[in-house]
Amino acid sequence: MADKPRIVIVGGGFGGIKIAKLFAKENVDITLVDRHNFHLFQPLLYQVSTSVLAEDEIAYPIRTFFRDNKNVNFFMAKAQGVDQERNVLITNHGEIPYDYLILAAGATTNFFGMKEVEEKAYGMKTIQEAIHIRNHVLHEFERASKPYRTPEDRRKRMTFVVAGGGPTGVEEAGALTELIDVQKKEIHNLDFNDVQVILIEATPRVLPMMPEDLQKETVRVLEKKGVRVMLDTQVVGYDGDVLKLKSGAEIPTTTVIWAAGVRAVDFMNNCGGENARDGRLMIEENLMVKGAVNKNVFAIGDCACFMHGDMKRPLPTVAPVATQEAVVCHKNIMKLIKGDTNLEKFVYKDLGAMATIGRGQAVVGHPRMTGFLAWCAWMFVHLIRLAGAHTNLTVAIKWTWNLFSGIRLGRIITNMKL
Amino acid sequence: MADKPRIVIVGGGFGGIKIAKLFAKENVDITLVDRHNFHLFQPLLYQVSTSVLAEDEIAYPIRTFFRDNKNVNFFMAKAQGVDQERNVLITNHGEIPYDYLILAAGATTNFFGMKEVEEKAYGMKTIQEAIHIRNHVLHEFERASKPYRTPEDRRKRMTFVVAGGGPTGVEEAGALTELIDVQKKEIHNLDFNDVQVILIEATPRVLPMMPEDLQKETVRVLEKKGVRVMLDTQVVGYDGDVLKLKSGAEIPTTTVIWAAGVRAVDFMNNCGGENARDGRLMIEENLMVKGAVNKNVFAIGDCACFMHGDMKRPLPTVAPVATQEAVVCHKNIMKLIKGDTNLEKFVYKDLGAMATIGRGQAVVGHPRMTGFLAWCAWMFVHLIRLAGAHTNLTVAIKWTWNLFSGIRLGRIITNMKL
């Protein structure tokens, strides 16, 4: 072991940043590895994709978190594997030796093996994907407004499909209808009867983590906003022009936003551990990777599969799981550093779920709230968690402005295809 | 002629937006053509390239200006030529017939025929170019901080050259030193003695439009901020690795930002007019394109070459020229519509120049001001001209925040190269 224990953390998401902050106060050397130079506030990604917020309002430079922590080093690179025998993390910028390794690498979109869908549909997990969606959707409005379009072509471009009825899908569909309301006021020569948003969900219900009455309320609000909600509907293919459903029905559309599932990032398969069906690394109750050779590799958050006691399925891929795991993981590694092998077992405390359906509309599971009150709670919770005091202020201004005026200034197309 | 006169405007810059707003109140049909869906506040582009502002704070959706003007149609397309005989504008999305045509297509970067420089250096005229610079500069810091770099490689990546001592070059160089100050606080393992900003200007002076004492003051302030100012220095080549000067000297650098000249966009050569050496269309004193076949084609702003009376050189490519020309051009076309061929001659009223050199530092030519007072004046003038009340507010917050804290939250790398 070097002078100070070398802690290496993979991933600057909610879990990675949290545990790096905890270790920053200890007498250890920390290397935080991420392929992006920023922490992304993923729950608000849909607002970037629908022109409400700018990129830099939900992305925060990782180095800024650790400005005053000289023992924290940021290393921008793509993690590729772990050699547990040699205690090194392998990246595209070389190897990084560790005494303790924490994998907090997150999740990516799950297309369930449908290659063509993966190629043609839009994922929504990264800032680049959100920007792609924004550019594409705005561009389709410009294309549809050209006088030489056939009605079929125009309708196809003006049909926006969101696949997946979880919080991301519901929020995206709701936000799209509001973007359309804004476009309606400004594109004088387009027939908006052609414009529609469709939300497709494979199961009979949206927002699986919510009580049934709130699920129904969510569908009601979405439909009132103009979203066509198709439950019990499975996607079997998409070629960029026509979306194929299991029923045999087809929907002509140039836009499919895929929010129907997540899986662990591919790198998890090269970590020397045991992978669950969705690629997540199996972990012990103390958060150590199952079968860790030197008992010094841990995994937390979306990339880890925690399923112990009488749990019927793994913990959900949400921020509170990652941050709560970070706290216990930090404690356990500090115990090991001090020679104490009596590690703490992780117990998840469910804080309830919330989702916004649009301007002034949300559902909150616990305590149970709907409508404007729920939206205020949603706004408050997300605002206080955004990194950077100055960001909170500008985002608060934008949201308030947006609530009253319905104007969206973020509608700029930054790619150059014409 | 159709029911209403058809006014076609090419370009949504300062001139194009201004004249479209004037025509919007008349009994005419307007088509505004631009290859971008937004109006760009170009004077602040350097702030996007140096992570101070976000894209959507200096880009404003063109359609939003004309929300309440049903007679204004936006047509997103790239203008390719004008057939003056047939009275049609040719675009990549088909032809647009006009009764009156206003060319306000702006300018692009002038690399003075140096193809290799054009390929390897960064232009700074579009939002995409500013984003490219931001991504590249931030990325070079991450690359330079990798432990395996040789000192030569590191120094090359940490040498930022700005070519051109006009307002854009001066502002960019000043802003880069401030970005470096922020990075210095956060990249703990990089030797900042290796980091330098060089401003290269071919003539013996910066800011040609300023009085001599303010030019000297500008150089003094830049040097105090750590910029190496090289006057009387001409670039003759750049291969992406080494910048070659006329003197034979070479500067190893991976970053050359080219702000050394502008020329009219290529499309100006296909408008059936007479082009000046820098590509700008020659115009009459009444702003009509010289030799206009049907006396119905006008040009204003950066794409037009106005040189009449005792002027020794054409009017400068600045916003006030474009907006003042827009006013006279609108009047003259309205006269023609009403059958009056006695057109007004354009006279430019010079409102003086200003440039910011960095946080709390600027020079203003008229009334003469320097330092913090000049910076406040600069900030005020730019704030009131930004489109959208809500933008003014968030930009004011960012600038104030930036002035006191020196934090730059915009430092996110949004491209994916690793």
Share of chain B above pLDDT 70, in %: 94
Q: Which of B287, B284, B286, B290 is nearest to B272 (CA)?
A: B290
CB distance B412–A38 less than 8 Å?
yes
CA–CA distance from A32 to each of A24, A348, B412 (Å)?
11, 25, 16
Q: Which pLDDT belongs to residue A198?
A: 98
Mind telling me how many Å the CA of B26 is from chain A's nearest CA? 17
Shortest CB distance from A54 goes to which of B54, B77, B142?
A: B54
Given a contact cutoff of 8 angstroms between Cβ atoms, the answer to whether B321 and B301 are in contact is yes
The stretch A393-397 carries a mean pLDDT of 72
The active-site residue out of A171, A178, A201, A217 is A171
The stretch A352-356 carries a mean pLDDT of 83
- The model's pTM is 0.92
Q: Which pLDDT belongs to residue B416?
A: 53
Q: Would you tell me the crossing angle of helices B14-24 and B319-337 to the nearest 10 degrees?
A: 30
CB of B142 within 8 Å of a chain A CB? The answer is yes
Q: Which pLDDT belongs to residue B418?
A: 40
CB of A417 within 8 Å of a chain B CB? The answer is no
Query: Which residues in A lie closer than 8 A to residue B397 (C-beta atoms)?
Result: 390, 393-394, 397
CB of B38 within 8 Å of a chain A CB? The answer is yes
Mind telling me how many Å the CA of B13 is from chain A's nearest CA? 15
List B257's β-bridge partners, or say none: B122, B162
Shortest CB distance from B37 goes to which of A63, A73, A413?
A: A413
Instruction: Give kind and range of the element (H or E) at residue B407.
Output: none
How many C-beta atoms surround the C-beta of residue B319 within 10 A?
18
Query: Which residues in A lie closer than 8 A to residue B93 (C-beta atoms)?
Result: 146, 148, 418
Mind telling me how many Å the CA of B4 is from chain A's nearest CA? 17
Mind telling me how many Å the CA of A64 is from chain B's nearest CA? 6
CB pairs under 8 A between A and B: 142
Indicate if the pLDDT at residue A385 is higher than 80.
no
Shortest CB distance from A59 goes to which of B92, B412, B418?
A: B412
The overall average pLDDT reported for chain B is 91
Given a contact cutoff of 8 angstroms between Cβ atoms, the answer to whether A303 and A276 are in contact is no
Q: Which B residues, 47 through 86, put their C-beta within 8 Å of a C-beta on chain A?
A: 54-57, 59-61, 63-64, 66-67, 70, 72-78
pLDDT tens figures, B348-376: 998 878 888 877 788 888 788 888 888 88
CB of A397 within 8 Å of a chain B CB? The answer is yes
Q: Is A171 marked active-site?
A: yes
CB distance A187–B63 less than 8 Å?
yes
Q: Which of B159, B162, B252 is nearest to B201 (CA)?
A: B162
The stretch B320-335 carries a mean pLDDT of 97
Query: Which residues in A lie closer than 8 A to residue B185 (C-beta atoms)?
Result: 67
CB of A412 within 8 Å of a chain B CB? The answer is yes
CA–CA distance from A209 to each of A142, A318, B26 (Å)?
38, 11, 56
pLDDT bracket for residue B417 (50, 70, 90)? very low
ipTM for this prediction: 0.90
How many C-beta atoms surround the C-beta of residue B116 within 10 A?
13
Q: Which of B302, B289, B272 is nearest to B332 (CA)?
A: B289
Q: Which pLDDT belongs to residue A4?
A: 95
Lowest mean pLDDT, pick from A222-226, A380-384, B169-173: A380-384
The overall average pLDDT reported for chain A is 91
CA–CA distance from B401 to each of A57, A185, A269, A383, A393 (Å)?
15, 34, 44, 18, 11
Interface probe with A: pick from B35, B47, B58, B63, most Cβ of A within 10 Å: B63
Tokens read off for B137: 């500069």
The active-site residue out of B57, B129, B171, B201 is B171
Residue of B nearest to A141 (CA): B76
The stretch A229-242 carries a mean pLDDT of 97
pLDDT tens figures, B51-68: 888 888 888 899 999 999
CB of A189 within 8 Å of a chain B CB? The answer is yes
The stretch B266-277 carries a mean pLDDT of 95
Share of chain A above pLDDT 70, in %: 94
Q: Which of B144, B103, B134 is nearest to B16 (CA)?
A: B103
CB distance A390–B410 less than 8 Å?
no
Indicate if the pLDDT at residue A118 is higher than 70.
yes
Query: What is the SS3 assignment for A288?
Result: strand
Query: Which residues in B lie closer than 8 A to residue A185 (C-beta atoms)?
Result: 67
pLDDT tens figures, A131-170: 999 999 999 999 999 999 999 999 999 999 999 999 999 9
Q: Which pLDDT belongs to residue A389?
A: 58
CB of A97 within 8 Å of a chain B CB? The answer is no
